[in-house]
């Protein structure tokens, strides 16, 4: 097998393999002419080559690169892309986020998660303390965000991100359990922030911004995570009875929220915007689908959930008393802000009640969803749990729950041929 010869970027043959006809986002068809993306001295830019001939396009790309070497970016952009003067050179973190939000078709809630992750990484790298970040009423949130957004993206280098990542894991990983939590947090931040520079979004960003090369998260690896296996610590019967006793009459909205997140395993945002139209009491099913008010997390999040007679009767009773279209009633506005819940007051009361009743997880309402997943996995198997929770992949379910339809033990008695207790006597209580 012949060894492939690598050509220098000053050689036209190098560019023959780099020029391309890009797919138009609007038509889905290849462009009629070639373009090329060129990286040089920490910056990258895309250049239209205005020809349908590949050899001619490669020659033009070579000439642009040679001009970059001789004259630099500003001169080349002024000559080849006069409109680039109106574009942002050396964009800031805030300009990247703003441009992505303006040009990308990615769900707003997803873009919001990407933006928050990039801001948090930027703040960590440059030591921009959170201070009064959460003091929105006094302007603390805006002040913190403005400081973060003003950072030039080319200052956020992979080397600086990598150094901060190591420091974060060291400072937050004093014990094995804390390190595991820190690893999950860091991996989540990197995944989400990297989403802003995904191929789908990057194609839009590069038309408006001159992005640095490498990008901030290029080459940043994720740490290996242990499976986040859910370990139930809840007595389901006891919790259900307590919810009925404490909430059914005194706080029916919190009781409905409890049942939606537990009995149906709804995500918090799904319960928040669920309308009564989703219930089909005749067929005894709850239809989860994208509506005018709520876009689901993914296509796999849609589905039908069966209702038993008892659960159906409870919600049928609530339906008879309903005063609006939403299952959870709230005076909150229908205008959504980033990551805000319409029924935030109801969820706050439910979280307080759950913690008072022994559900002390960081996200006690989401724990209800995990708990019903555990119940179904134990009773019906992992596949049934995956369908009920509407996971996109059964692998997600299997990483969280054990597929255990009945207790699994070593059964030593049967193996040894004994049924009586082999150890007899009075035992001292173990020292605590």
Full pLDDT tens readout for the chain, 432 residues = 444 457 889 999 999 989 988 765 445 567 788 988 888 887 777 788 989 999 999 999 999 999 999 998 888 887 876 555 455 678 999 999 988 887 777 788 888 999 999 999 999 999 998 655 555 555 567 889 999 999 999 999 999 999 999 999 999 989 998 999 999 999 999 999 999 998 888 877 887 888 898 999 999 999 988 777 788 888 999 999 999 999 999 999 999 999 999 999 999 999 999 999 999 999 999 999 877 777 776 666 778 899 999 999 999 999 999 989 999 998 866 655 556 788 999 999 999 999 999 999 889 999 999 999 999 888 888 888 888 898 888 887 887 776 555 666 676 666 767 666 666 665 555 554
Give the pLDDT of residue 125. Answer: 96
Do 144 and 82 share a domain, yes or no?
no
**Beta-carbon count within 10 A of 198 CB:** 13
Structure tokens at 229: 């296996």
Give the pLDDT of residue 22. Answer: 76
* In a domain? residue 54: yes
Q: Are 154 and 42 a contacting pair, CB within 8 Å?
A: yes
- Last residue in a domain, options 51, 86, 121: 86
Give the pLDDT of residue 3. Answer: 46
Do 169 and 301 share a domain, yes or no?
no
Nearest CA among 196, 204, 171, 201 for reference residue 87: 204
| Dihedral of alpha carbons 143, 144, 145, 146, sign | positive
Helices (H) then strands (E): counts for the chain: 18, 7
Do 31 and 106 share a domain, yes or no?
no
Do 204 and 123 share a domain, yes or no?
yes
Do 170 and 257 share a domain, yes or no?
no
* In a domain? residue 178: yes
Strand partners for 37: 46
* In a domain? residue 1: no
Give the pLDDT of residue 117. Answer: 96
Residue where the block lists tokens 């928050």: 116
Do 373 and 250 share a domain, yes or no?
yes
* In a domain? residue 3: no
Structure tokens at 143: 């002040």
Domain count, the chain: 3
Give the pLDDT of residue 26. Answer: 44
Cβ-proximal residues to 259 (8 Å cutoff; 6+ apart), any chain: 243, 311, 314, 315
- Last residue in a domain, options 28, 56, 86: 86
* In a domain? residue 411: no
* In a domain? residue 134: yes
Do 188 and 269 share a domain, yes or no?
no
- The CATH number of the domain holding residue 264 is 1.10.443.10
Residue-number span of the structural domain to which 43 is assigned: 12-86
Find the helix packing angle between 199-208 and 93-103, rounded to 10°: 110
- Last residue in a domain, options 146, 176, 210: 210
Do 178 and 251 share a domain, yes or no?
no
Do 249 and 374 share a domain, yes or no?
yes
**Beta-carbon count within 10 A of 258 CB:** 25
| Element of type H or E holding 303 | strand 303-306
Give the pLDDT of residue 312. Answer: 93
Find the helix packing angle between 236-247 and 344-356, rounded to 10°: 130
Do 260 and 389 share a domain, yes or no?
yes
| pTM given for the model | 0.64
Give the pLDDT of residue 337. Answer: 53
Between CA 223 and CA 184 the distance in angstroms is 8
Q: Are 48 and 78 a contacting pair, CB within 8 Å?
A: no
Between CA 378 and CA 372 the distance in angstroms is 10
Do 307 and 361 share a domain, yes or no?
yes
**Beta-carbon count within 10 A of 230 CB:** 17
Do 252 and 173 share a domain, yes or no?
no
Backbone Cα Rg of the chain? 28
């Amino acid at each position: 097998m012949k060894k492939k010869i690598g050509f220098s970027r000053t050689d036209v043959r190098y560019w023959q393999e780099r020029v391309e006809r890009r797919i138009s986002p609007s038509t889905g068809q290849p462009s009629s002419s070639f373009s090329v993306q060129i990286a040089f001295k920490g910056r990258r830019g895309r250049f239209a080559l205005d020809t349908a001939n590949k050899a001619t396009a490669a020659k033009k790309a070579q000439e642009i690169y040679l001009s970059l070497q001789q004259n630099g970016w500003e001169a080349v952009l002024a000559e080849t892309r006069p409109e680039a003067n109106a574009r942002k050179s050396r964009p800031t973190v805030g300009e990247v986020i703003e441009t992505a939000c303006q040009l990308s078709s990615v769900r707003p809630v997803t873009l919001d998660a990407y933006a928050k992750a990039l801001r948090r990484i930027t703040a960590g790298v440059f030591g921009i303390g959170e201070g009064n970040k959460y003091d929105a009423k006094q302007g603390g949130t805006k002040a913190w965000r403005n400081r973060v957004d003003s950072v030039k993206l080319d200052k956020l280098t992979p080397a600086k991100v990598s150094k901060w990542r190591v420091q974060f894991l060291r400072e937050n990983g004093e014990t094995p359990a804390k390190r595991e939590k820190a690893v999950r947090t860091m991996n989540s931040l990197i995944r989400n922030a990297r989403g802003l520079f995904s191929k789908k979004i990057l194609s839009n960003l590069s038309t408006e911004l001159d992005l640095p090369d490498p990008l901030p998260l290029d080459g940043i690896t994720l740490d290996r995570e242990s499976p986040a296996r859910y370990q139930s610590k809840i007595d389901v019967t006891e919790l259900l009875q307590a919810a009925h006793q404490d909430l059914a009459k005194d706080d029916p909205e919190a009781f409905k929220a409890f049942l939606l997140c537990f009995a149906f395993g709804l995500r918090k945002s799904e319960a928040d915007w669920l309308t009564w139209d989703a219930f089909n009491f005749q067929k005894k099913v709850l239809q989860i689908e994208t509506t005018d008010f709520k876009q689901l997390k993914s296509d796999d999040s849609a589905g039908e959930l069966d209702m038993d007679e008892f659960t159906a009767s409870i919600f049928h009773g609530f339906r008879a008393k309903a005063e609006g279209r939403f299952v959870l009633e709230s005076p909150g506005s229908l205008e959504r802000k980033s990551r805000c819940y319409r029924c935030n007051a109801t969820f706050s009361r439910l979280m307080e009640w759950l913690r008072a009743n022994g559900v002390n997880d960081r996200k006690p309402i989401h724990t209800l969803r995990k708990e019903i997943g555990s119940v179904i996995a134990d009773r019906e198997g992992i596949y049934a749990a995956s369908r009920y929770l509407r996971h996109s992949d059964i692998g997600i379910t299997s990483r969280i729950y054990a597929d255990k339809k009945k207790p699994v033990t070593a059964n030593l008695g049967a193996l040894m041929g004994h049924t009586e207790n082999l150890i007899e006597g009075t035992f001292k209580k173990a020292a605590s």
